[in-house]
Amino acid sequence: MQSRTIPSGEEQRDATNNITTLSERQMQVLALVAEGRTDNEIAIELGLSAKTISSYVQHIRNRFEAQSRAQAVALAIRQGLLPAQNSQEEEE
């Protein structure tokens, strides 16, 4: 019987599309991060603790191998996981 290993960040990406995969909850958190929400604001919205949200954000950053929240959001947009937002479109 083979032991299972935890896949690295590179292995967690879809090999054919080079897309990072996230759970539904991670996508919810990432979308709120992309809106500029703080961990506390996200925690209140999702009914979780700020510490739990902080853990989600760190895990998301690790998945993208991102140095910051902003970089994780930018990488998610480039991969098509989040829509690119245009502030002029939102105002119209």
The answer to whether residue 44 sits within a structural domain is yes
The answer to whether residue 35 sits within a structural domain is yes
Q: Which of 79, 25, 75, 82 is nearest to 52 (CA)?
A: 25
Beta carbons of 55 and 83 less than 8 angstroms apart: no
Residue 64 structural domain? 21-82
The number of beta carbons lying within 10 Å of the beta carbon of residue 40 is: 12
The number of beta carbons lying within 10 Å of the beta carbon of residue 42 is: 23
Looking at the structure of the chain, the number of domains it has is: 1
Give the mean pLDDT of 40-60: 97
The answer to whether residue 16 sits within a structural domain is no
Length of the chain: 92
Beta carbons of 46 and 53 less than 8 angstroms apart: yes
The answer to whether residue 3 sits within a structural domain is no
The answer to whether residue 4 sits within a structural domain is no
Tell me the pLDDT tens digit for each residue of 77-86.
Answer: 999 999 887 6
Alpha carbon 54 to its chain centroid, in Å, reads 12
Its pTM stands at 0.73
Give the domain CATH number at 47.
Answer: 1.10.10.10
